[in-house]
Structure formats: structure tokens, C-alpha cells
Amino acid sequence: MTRHHHRQRTARPEARPRVILALAVVCGAAVGNVYFPQAVSPLVASGLGVSPDAAAGVVTATQCGYAAGIWLLVPLGDRFAHRPLLVTLLTLTGLGLCAASAAPGLVPLIAASALVGVTTVVAPLAGPLAAHLVPEERRGVTGGTLLSGSLAGMLLSRAVGGMLGDRLGWRAPYVLAAVLTLAVAVLAARLVPRTAAPPAQPYPALLAAPLRLLRTEPALRRSCLYQALVFAGFSAMWTGVAPLLTGPAYGLGAGAVGLLALVNAVTMVCTPVAGRLVDRRGPDAVNRACFRLVGGSAAVLALGGLGGVPGVAALVAGTLLLDVGMQSGMVANTVRIQALRAEVRSRLTTAYMTCAYLGGAAGSWLGTRVYARFGWPGVCALVAALTAVALARHRGAGRRAHGGGPHPARTARQGPRP
């Protein structure tokens, strides 16, 4: 064991940049599998001869599967060595995407999408691995690199998926995603270093820990609520914008959804800025600014229903505000929960991300139904309402913090009691 750790330490300086870059690519490929179905949902509806509402079930199934995978599989990072776990999950995801591409109908496609969601939870596993592989003073930069990879996967998957689907049909993006995921599995098998398996812990205890932390940590509950509400609005908007752009108001193809998402690549520049603001002013101040930003984005997005050039400009500006607000809020929430208890960070992350993606799945479901009944203005009103709930909870927390604004470090560690 001592010789193994000695070899690992001496190998780190040479392998670190290449390994972290490989992990960022792995994160991007895995996260992209959750988001490209949003761009191809209208194509699935026409290709399988089902309603847009029914086709949107593919998006919801993927996100629900992702939330379930975070809860069920991410804790295994505290039980098994990372490299075989990552490679196994990526391989299963690739096979699930192959099954989705060959699905003869909507029900098999939804089932395969749920499987893809469950197994594509590589990004939450890559973060703790990267933190183990680099010195403590490099962990912030390393985390930012992995987040940039995830954001790139989110944005590029929508853009490429929509454009490829327009040209070759809805099955083509699934085939491409399968090929990329399996190729990334090979990359991980070659470049991710071997690590010793952590001390064995009973799987039921690993599953129960996030529930216990949700019960005992008020700051964790607050962060989960914030992200679940904002991510629900984010998912509702991206689910609703696809039928808006492909419908009579614009008459564009599915590729337009991907291009709209690609405009928001500036978010990758804003998240490090948000991190520095959190360091200086604390997560609560950044959360408050993000809620206002997301609420303002709903008003701008509502103008997207006008159509034409003014509508496109409003959609670009509104989605940019929404993306920056949601991602920056995620940085603030993550800092808050990571400052709680260092020895259980992976379990804190499991609880937080599960709640966030359950909120996202609920937002996709709500967005589909609100758009069907009330159109695009209803979706924008939903985004505003969800954000208003989060802001009201935040103000209530501030009032209970004995006024006068606590020190940022204290806020991050404790958070006000609900």
C-alpha cells in the first residue's frame, strides 16, 4: 500500500494536466447525454407520430433517471475504485444510447432514455476523483475545469443534436452520442489513473446518509430548494422553447434550438467570476443576485413570443440571463454545502444534485403542460413564479439570520435555520 501511494504521488506531476483534461472531456460527454434530447424532442414527435407532449416524456425520463442515478450510483464512489466504475457506467450509457437509437416506438425510447439517465452520472463522480488527484491549492481551478467541460457538453450537445437531427432524423443524434460515449469510455480506461478502493461501507448506509444529512443540515436543505426551483424554471424554458421555435411563430428547425443554446457559451466565462464573488461576499449575496437575474430573464423571454428579429433577440438575451443566473447560483449553493462537513462531501453532493435534477425533471414536465395550455407566456410566467418562491424563501432566511448580514464564511458553513 505504501509503495502504491508513493508511485501515485510521484506520477501526479506528469499525469495531472492530461488526466484533468480527460476528466473534463468525460464530464462533457456524460452531461451532454442529459440535454440533447431537449433539442430533438420535436423531431421525435414527428418521427414516431406522437404528440409533442408525449415526446417530451423522453426529456423527463432522462432527467428523472439522472436524479435516480445520482442517488443510487454516485455514493458508490465511496466504495469502489474510480476507474472501473467510470468505465462501466460510460459503457452502459453507450449501450443505452444504442438501444434508444433503435427504439421502435415511444415506450421503448422512454425506457432506454431512463437507463441512459441513470448511468450517465459520471460528472458527480469525477469531481471527488479530481480532488484526490491534485494538491489542495489546485482544487478550485480543477473544479472549474470540470465544470467548464460539463457546460461545454450541455451547450454543444443541444447544438449538434438539433442540427444533426434536422439533417438525418432524430435517431442520428443518439447514434453519435453512443459512439462518443463509448469512445470516452476507452479514453477513461487509458488515461484515468488507478486508485485504491476506499474502505468498504455497507451500501444501505451510503444510500441512507444523504437523507440523514437533509434532515440534519438546514443549509443543505436551503441550497437544495434554491437549485431545485431555479433548475425547474430553467428546464421548463428549454423544454418550451423547442416547440416555440419549430412552431408557427418562427417555423424553424430543431437546429435552431441548438444554436440558441450555443449562444450561451458565455456562461463558461461567468461561472469563475461567480466563484470569486462567492469568495468575497458569501453564497447568500450571490444567490440573491441570481434570483433577481433569473426573474428578470422571465420578462425578457416573454418578448420572445413576438417572433421575427425582435423575438429572436429577446430569446437570446433572456436565455443568456437565465443560464448565467442558474449556473452562478449553482456555484453559490455548492460552496455553501461544501463548507458544511468535509468528511461527507460526496454524500452532501448526492443529496444536493438529486434534489436539483428532480426539480429539473418536474420543470420539464410542467413546462410541457403549461406550454400546451397557455403557450409561451405561460412558460415565462412559470419561470417567474418558481423564482419568486425561491427569493421569498431566501428573504425569510435572511430575516431569521438575526439581521445585519452574517459573515460570509459563517453563512457558508451554517446557514440560517429554517
- Which tens digits make up the pLDDT trace of 122-177? 888 887 777 667 666 565 566 667 777 888 888 888 888 888 888 898 999 999 99
> Measured between alpha carbons, how far is 272 from 127 in angstroms, rounded to an integer?
16
Please state which of the ranges 7-16, 104-113, 154-163, 294-303 shows the lowest mean pLDDT: 7-16
What the chain holds in terms of domains, given with CATH numbers, is 7-199 (1.20.1250.20), 202-418 (1.20.1250.20)
Number of neighbouring beta carbons within 10 Å of residue 2: 6
Amino acid at 6: H
CB-based contact 333:283 (threshold 8 Å): yes
Task: Determine the straight-line distance between the first and last CA of the chain, rounded to whole angstroms.
Answer: 46
User: pLDDT band for position 16 (50/70/90)?
Assistant: low
pLDDT in tens, 195-215: 776 666 788 888 888 889 999
SS (H, E, C) 373-415: HHHHHHHHHHHHHHHHHHHHHHHHHHHCCCCCCCCHHHHHHCC
Q: Which residues contact 108 (CB under 8 A, 6 or more apart)?
A: 99
Amino acid at 253: G
> Measured between alpha carbons, how far is 301 from 395 in angstroms, rounded to an integer?
25
Q: Report pTM.
A: 0.73
276: left (phi over 0), alpha (psi -120 to 50) or beta: alpha
CA angle 93, 67, 294 (to 5 degrees): 115
CA angle 215, 220, 224 (to 5 degrees): 105
